[in-house]
Amino acid sequence: MTSTVARFAWPAAFVAIAAMGFGYLREPKPSAPTSEVRVDHAGATVVRELRSLSRLETSSMHVEKVIALSDHQQRLRGLVDADDSLLFVAVGEVVLGVDLSKLAEADVRSDPATGIAYVELPAPEVLSTRFDETRSYVHTRKTDLLARRNEGLEGAARREALAAFAAAGRDPRALEAAKATAEKQLRSLAKAWGAKDLVVSWKGPSGEVPLDDLAKK
């Protein structure tokens, strides 16, 4: 009788232990509650960062111009014509871009619902012009016998060259290329700042193009 009870006791004990084990496997330890904090301020960041930029340089152009100037003079009471002339080879660089300091309060906005930022940019323009002094030179200088040498002639040639540089930068093809580059650069920046996308529109052309300080000499 005792052996019979023992024989039934072992299977029962095994079933009880297995049930406890299976129950342990079925009921994992409860994990600690987790939370995620999301701060949606991408649009405001884009607005702030865009305004902090002073200007966006999009491209530069290598320009070469030959400037011929002549100071026509009359001597001996107008009986004799004389010339002081020069041929100036000007080599320099024109930098195109967008002056972001011209952005107004209403030019930059964002849509919190979509995460898309919007900006209306001033038209691209010539940001600067400069000479390559190592390659710019007076090719020819000729002063007639009765002519007076005009010491300001080279300075005038430099001003003409800088004006020609700026005119080259205002070429419609150059400005369109500057627009495309600006949109690409600003869209990348906006996404880096957290915006999903940036929609760019453009204002009308700006006014006069500023020239290098050399133009004032």
Within-domain flag for 76: yes
Q: For residue 75, what pLDDT band results from cuts at 50, 70 and 90? A: confident
CB distance 86 to 153 below 8 Å: yes
Of residues 14 and 161, more confidence is placed in 161
Mean pLDDT of 140-164: 93
For residues 201-211, average pLDDT: 66
Q: How far apart are CA 124 and CA 211, in angstroms?
A: 15
pLDDT at 193: 81
29: which DSSP letter? P
| pTM strictly above 0.95 | no
**Listed residue (153, 182, 168) closest to 61, CA to CA:** 168
Task: Calculate the alpha carbon distances from 18 to 6, 10, 120, 127 in Å.
Answer: 18, 12, 72, 82
Q: Report residue 37's pLDDT band, with 50, 70 and 90 as the boundaries.
A: very low
In a domain, 114, yes or no: yes
Instruction: Report yes or no on 159 lying in a domain.
Output: yes
| Joined tokens for residue 125 | 């323009």
pLDDT digits (tens, 9 = 90+) for 93-117: 999 999 988 888 788 888 888 989 9
The answer to the question of residue 88 being in a domain is yes
In a domain, 135, yes or no: yes
Q: How many domains does the chain have?
A: 1
197 assigned to some structural domain: yes
Q: Is residue 171 part of a domain?
A: yes
Report residue 110 as tokens.
Answer: 């964002």
d(CA 176, CA 150): 41
Instruction: Give me the pLDDT at residue 16, please.
Output: 45
Which CA distances in Å does 16 have to 5, 6, 8, 23, 46?
16, 15, 13, 11, 65
Domain encompassing residue 136? 33-216
Give a yes or no: residue 22 inside a domain.
no
